[in-house]
């Protein structure tokens, strides 16, 4: 669970985790002082309508991509006026989606200064495990970034023992990983 930082306001965009991410943040007493809210943009068209992701970007790279995660975080940050925004997009399973295997998840993060970042995670396990792992990874990424403990990067050791690998991208420079 992230520490609450009273000097910052945070917003979220979540997919395919649904409202679990916001629920995890608001479970902390005092969250209302820093958490503005979130957007659940599950369907691709909602990523465009609610989070302002460019239709051309979605057509070019699709909903499951680092550039999309960055655009989602940037869009939610702009819509809410938050200091920090974190966004997730990926495939929880059980079936692949548009050529992406279950467990492929991107977490986008944008703060008050510096480039937005996207981190790819490849989680193992069933749909529930992927969703839980995504929430934990996104919370950890946000907490480390807000605390200023270095650059945002992926978590290779999931707290629940689910295997994961990650790769980080900045400034929208996204490349596929094997």
Q: Is the pLDDT of residue 93 over 50?
A: yes
User: Which of the four CATH numbers 3.40.50.970, 3.30.230.10, 2.60.120.10, 3.90.950.20 does domain 10-170 have?
Assistant: 3.90.950.20
Sequence spans of domains, the chain: 10-170
pLDDT value, residue 2 = 53
Residue 85: the pLDDT is 93
Q: What is the DSSP string of 142-158?
A: HHHHHHT-S-----SB-
Give the contacts of 115 (CB within 8 A, at least 6 positions apart).
170, 171
pTM value?
0.80
127 vs 162, residue with greater confidence = 127
And the tokens for 160? Answer: 């629940």
45-50: average pLDDT: 94
Cβ 44 vs Cβ 80: under 8 Å? no
User: Is the confidence at residue 80, as pLDDT, over 60?
Assistant: yes
pLDDT in tens, 5-41: 666 777 777 655 557 888 888 889 999 999 998 898 8
């Amino acid at each position: 669970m992230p520490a609450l930082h009273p000097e910052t306001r945070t917003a979220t965009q979540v997919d395919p985790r649904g409202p679990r991410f916001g629920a995890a943040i608001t479970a902390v007493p005092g969250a209302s002082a820093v958490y503005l809210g979130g957007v659940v943009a599950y369907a691709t068209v909602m990523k465009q309508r609610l989070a302002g992701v460019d239709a051309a970007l979605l057509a070019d790279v699709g909903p499951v991509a680092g550039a999309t995660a960055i655009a989602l975080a940037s869009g939610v940050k702009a819509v809410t006026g938050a200091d920090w925004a974190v966004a997730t997009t990926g495939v929880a399973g059980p079936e692949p989606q548009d050529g992406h295997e279950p467990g492929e998840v991107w977490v986008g993060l944008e703060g008050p200064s510096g480039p937005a970042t996207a981190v790819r995670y490849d989680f193992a396990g069933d749909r529930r495990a992927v969703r839980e792992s995504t929430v934990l990874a996104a919370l950890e990424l946000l907490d480390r970034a807000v605390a200023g403990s270095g650059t945002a990067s992926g978590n290779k050791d999931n707290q629940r023992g689910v295997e994961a690998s990650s790769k980080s991208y900045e400034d929208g420079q996204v490349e596929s990983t094997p």
